[in-house]
Structures are given as C-alpha cells and as structure tokens.
C-alpha cells in the first residue's frame, strides 16, 4: 500500500476546493438540444484538460503515477491513464498524442504566418519523415511473417479478384520502394535537433505541437527547470532517467521531444558556480549528444533567453538548426486577427483586418489572441445582461440583435492591451547567433 506523502493534504484541499472542481460537481448538465449538448461537451472537455494538467502537476510533484495516493481508505480513486502502467517505473512525463477535433483547425492550418518556417519544416522533416515511415511500413508488409494480420483466405470466392488488386498494390509498392532508393542516393540526412530562440508569446511551443499534429507522431514536452532537485546528484539522475525513458518511448514510434526553457538548465557557466550544476550540464550534453542512437526522436529545444546559453556549450551541442523568428509581420498579424475572430466563428461586423494589423506592430501572436478573447468577452457581456429577462420570460426577438464584435471594440481593446514585448529587452536577440558562432 502506498503511503501518503508530505504535502498531499494541502494539494488535495487545493483541488477539491477549487472553483472548477466545485462547479463540475454541481453543474446541471444540459443536452436537450444540439447546441446545449455541444456547449456541455466543450465545458467538460475544458475541465478534463484542466484535470489532466492538475494530475500532471501531481505526478511531477509527488514523483508518482496513477493510481495515486488519493485517498482516504475506501474512497474510489479517479481512474485515468493506463492501469497496466502501475507496475512499471513511473515516467517523468507522458507521450502525448493529439486528437483531431472537428471544430478546431489541425496542424499547420492553425498556424498564422510563419510561412518560411512552415516550408522549412515541411522540407526538412515532414516530407522526408512521412516518406521514411511509409517505406518502413511497406517493408514490414512485404514480409508477411512480420505482419500477423496479413493472412489471406485463399479459399474464398473473391480470392482471384483480391489477387488482381493485390498485384496492382504490389506494383505500386515496388515503385515507392524504388523511388525511395533513388532519394536515398542523395544522402540527405534528416535533422535531428533544432533550437528555437525567439521572444516569448510568439509560438515556439505552439508551432512544435502543430508539427507533431502534422506528422501524426507522439509529443513529449519537458520544461528544463523541472529537472531540478535539492538532493545531491538527484538532478543528474533525473536527466539520465528522462532521456533513457524518452529513447525507449521512441523505439515504437516517431516522437518530437520538446525541451522548453532550455536556458534554465544549460546556462552560462559564469552563473554556474557550483560543481553540481557543472555535473548536470555535462550530463545533459552527454545524453543529448547520445540521441544519435535514437533516429525516431526529433528534438526541439526552445528558449526566449538565448543570451543565457553558454556559447561553448552551444558549439558542442548537436543541434542542426538554430532558428530565430521575430514578432509576426503585418501579413501574419492580419491572419491572426482573422483566425481568432472570423475563423473562430465569433460574430463580428465586417472588420478591416488590414488596419488592425497596422495598429499592432510589435504585438506577438499571444497578444493578438488575448485581444480577440477580450473583445469577444466584452461583446458577449450584453447577452449575459439579459439573464433577468430570460428568467422573467420577457425576452423578445429584438434582444437577439446586434451582438457582434465591432471595429471600434477591437481598436479600443488594442489601446487597452499594449504589446507584451514592451517588457522584453529585444536587444538580446540582435545578432545573437553571429556572436556565439
């Protein structure tokens, strides 16, 4: 039986007294119309996502894995995850698999701007990897002993017809394999590591997740600050265990390994005065550079403080590409406004997106998303004000009119919400790469 760990009670109380938890417990769900059903499901979905975040936090904080130490005796623990994992060593993080949802744009469709980067990722990763995985699949299929599902019932009436179809497929597959052999002759290697070092709120995490969606591969995200432990040598062990686990996970499928806030671990030695830190950094580099033996792992490291990275470390670091993107340009900003208002299906009058883009020079993607959220919240407030009429049965058709986002609303919100880059010293990005190379 697992023991209750210190700090558990406070954690438990924080969850069970949170507004989301209380609200979920008392909510009067409605599904008497399609709209009500959709609204209820969306609400549940957002809470499930929140619960997943809390559980992730729980696992990391208590170094445990579900089913956790919830629990007053006799209480039924909430079940998530795979019960078969119980006996295994608890992983530090999970491999996520993104699931397509009808109402949300998928993959690069959801990414405004960043055209050059998207094209680069298409050419460097997406196309070569899709090709590679297709060929691996075909090779496996051409060895039926490796594929238990391929036994053909020769006795069936349709066998002859099937054979004809099969031979067309086989011919097609042979051509694909030959095409790949031709491609391989060019000896193009797929990059295995990239560093994104652009300012906060400009989509480093976002584009990486969208790349995972495009590739349909697994996604592991690890914030480098989370390796830290106050126990001597424990951080070094955490790093070692983590990479070992990630490599193992990538034996079965391609995985994007996203190492966020890389500066918090691999930082300037001038600030790493203690030997422990040097040991951690060295362990990290050793593990990182050993990832050559895991061809299915695509590593993307991110930082918005490149100036905190040690240049010597950067040179010894196996990162094929170092990529900088500035804040979104006018075209990208126009697309962002369109994406978060029009494409999101928010009711609006006809907006001059060109002008909105011009008004938001130096705003980052996250700022524009936040402006659109805020303006939508403001515009919808009038609807909520109608609750008295709704309850007293005095609603009329007229009440339904005119609830749209207007150009003036957006312009005012832009004035109220200045660019978050105001707080950022942009000079740290100027020519950083040239300086460290």
Q: Binding residues for Mg ion, per CB under 5 A?
A: 204-205
In the bound complex, what is the minimum distance in angstroms from residue 57's beta carbon to Mg ion?
A: 17
**Which segments within 129-224 are labelled E, that is strand?**
193-196, 218-223
> Across the chain, how many H-helices and E-strands are there?
16, 5
In the bound complex, what is the minimum distance in angstroms from residue 254's beta carbon to Mg ion?
A: 22
Q: Which is nearer to ligand ATP, 190 or 366 (CB)?
A: 366
CB neighbour class for 360 (10 Å; exposed up to 12, middle 13-18, buried from 19): buried
Q: How far apart are CA 361 and CA 419, in angstroms?
A: 8
Compute the C-alpha angle 113/416/46, nearest 5°.
Answer: 60
In the bound complex, what is the minimum distance in angstroms from residue 187's beta carbon to ligand ATP?
A: 33
Q: Which is nearer to ligand ATP, 255 or 339 (CB)?
A: 339
Compute the C-alpha angle 125/259/106, nearest 5°.
Answer: 50
| From the list ligand ATP, Mg ion, none, partner contacted by residue 281 (C-beta under 5 to 8 A by kind) | none
Alpha carbon of residue 367 to chain centroid: 19
CB neighbour class for 414 (10 Å; exposed up to 12, middle 13-18, buried from 19): buried
Going by their DSSP bridges, the two strands 218-223 and 193-196 should be labelled as: unpaired
| From the list ligand ATP, Mg ion, none, partner contacted by residue 201 (C-beta under 5 to 8 A by kind) | ligand ATP
Q: Which residues pair with 405 in a beta bridge?
A: 348
In the bound complex, what is the minimum distance in angstroms from residue 305's beta carbon to Mg ion?
A: 12
Alpha carbon of residue 369 to chain centroid: 17
* Number of other CB atoms surrounding residue 89 within 10 Å: 10
| From the list ligand ATP, Mg ion, none, partner contacted by residue 203 (C-beta under 5 to 8 A by kind) | ligand ATP
| From the list ligand ATP, Mg ion, none, partner contacted by residue 225 (C-beta under 5 to 8 A by kind) | none
Q: For residues 194 and 322, is the Cβ–Cβ distance under 8 A?
A: yes
Helix (H), strand (E) at residue 255: strand 255-260
Q: How far apart are CA 333 and CA 351, in angstroms?
A: 14
| From the list Mg ion, ligand ATP, none, partner contacted by residue 114 (C-beta under 5 to 8 A by kind) | ligand ATP
In the bound complex, what is the minimum distance in angstroms from residue 321's beta carbon to Mg ion?
A: 18
- Whether the CA torsion 180, 183, 187, 192 is positive or negative: it is negative
Q: Which is nearer to ligand ATP, 283 or 365 (CB)?
A: 365
| From the list Mg ion, ligand ATP, none, partner contacted by residue 206 (C-beta under 5 to 8 A by kind) | ligand ATP
Q: Which is nearer to ligand ATP, 8 or 197 (CB)?
A: 197
In the bound complex, what is the minimum distance in angstroms from residue 223's beta carbon to Mg ion?
A: 9
| From the list ligand ATP, Mg ion, none, partner contacted by residue 180 (C-beta under 5 to 8 A by kind) | none
Q: Which is nearer to ligand ATP, 51 or 366 (CB)?
A: 366
In the bound complex, what is the minimum distance in angstroms from residue 204's beta carbon to ligand ATP?
A: 4
In the bound complex, what is the minimum distance in angstroms from residue 260's beta carbon to Mg ion?
A: 6
- Whether the CA torsion 391, 394, 396, 402 is positive or negative: it is negative
| From the list ligand ATP, Mg ion, none, partner contacted by residue 221 (C-beta under 5 to 8 A by kind) | none
> Site residues (CB under 6 A) for ligand ATP?
111-114, 200-206, 304, 336, 339, 365-366, 369
| From the list ligand ATP, Mg ion, none, partner contacted by residue 210 (C-beta under 5 to 8 A by kind) | none
Given its phi and psi angles, is residue 63 left (phi above 0), alpha (psi -120 to 50 degrees) or beta? left
Q: Which is nearer to ligand ATP, 62 or 340 (CB)?
A: 340
In the bound complex, what is the minimum distance in angstroms from residue 196's beta carbon to ligand ATP?
A: 8
Q: For residues 364 and 202, is the Cβ–Cβ distance under 8 A?
A: yes
């Amino acid at each position: 039986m697992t023991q209750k760990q210190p700090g558990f009670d406070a954690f438990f109380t924080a969850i069970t007294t949170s507004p989301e938890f209380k609200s979920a417990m008392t909510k009067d769900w409605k599904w008497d119309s399609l709209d009500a059903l959709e609204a209820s499901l969306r609400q549940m979905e957002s809470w499930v996502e929140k619960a997943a975040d809390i559980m992730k936090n729980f696992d990391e904080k208590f170094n445990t894995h579900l089913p956790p130490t919830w629990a007053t005796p006799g209480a039924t623990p909430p079940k998530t995850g795979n019960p078969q994992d119980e006996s295994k060593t608890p992983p530090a993080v999970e491999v996520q698999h993104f699931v397509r949802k009808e109402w949300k744009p998928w993959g690069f469709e959801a990414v405004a701007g960043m055209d050059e980067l998207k094209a680069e990722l298409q050419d460097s990763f997406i196309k070569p990897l899709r090709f590679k995985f297709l060929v691996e699949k075909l090779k496996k299929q051409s060895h039926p002993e490796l594929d238990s599902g391929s036994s053909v019932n020769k006795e069936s009436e349709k066998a002859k017809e099937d054979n004809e179809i099969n031979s067309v497929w086989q011919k097609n597959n042979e051509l694909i394999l030959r095409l790949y052999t031709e491609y391989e002759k060019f000896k193009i290697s797929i990059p295995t590591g990239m560093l994104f070092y652009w300012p906060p709120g400009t989509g480093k995490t976002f584009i990486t997740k969208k790349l995972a969606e495009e590739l349909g591969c697994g996604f592991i995200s690890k914030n480098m600050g989370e390796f830290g432990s106050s126990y001597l040598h424990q951080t070094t062990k955490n790093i070692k265990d983590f990479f070992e686990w990630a490599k193992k996970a990538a034996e079965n499928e391609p995985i994007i390994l996203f190492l966020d806030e890389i500066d918090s671990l691999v930082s300037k030695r001038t600030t790493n005065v203690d030997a422990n830190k040097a040991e951690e950094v060295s362990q990290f580099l050793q593990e990182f550079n050993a990832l050559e033996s895991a061809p299915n792992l695509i590593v993307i490291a991110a930082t918005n403080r490149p100036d905190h990275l040690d240049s010597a470390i950067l040179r010894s670091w196996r990162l094929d590409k170092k990529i900088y993107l500035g804040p979104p340009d006018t075209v990208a900003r126009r697309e962002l406004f369109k994406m978060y208002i029009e494409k999101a299906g928010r009711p609006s009058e006809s907006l001059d997106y060109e002008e909105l883009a011009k008004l938001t020079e130096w705003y980052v993607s996250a700022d524009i998303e936040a402006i659109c959220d805020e303006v939508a919240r403001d515009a919808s407030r009038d609807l909520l004000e109608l609750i008295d009429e709704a309850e007293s049965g005095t609603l009329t058709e007229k009440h339904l009119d005119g609830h749209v986002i207007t150009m003036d609303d957006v312009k005012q919100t832009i004035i109220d919400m200045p660019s978050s880059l105001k707080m950022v010293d942009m000079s740290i990005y100027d020519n950083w790469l040239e300086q460290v190379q």
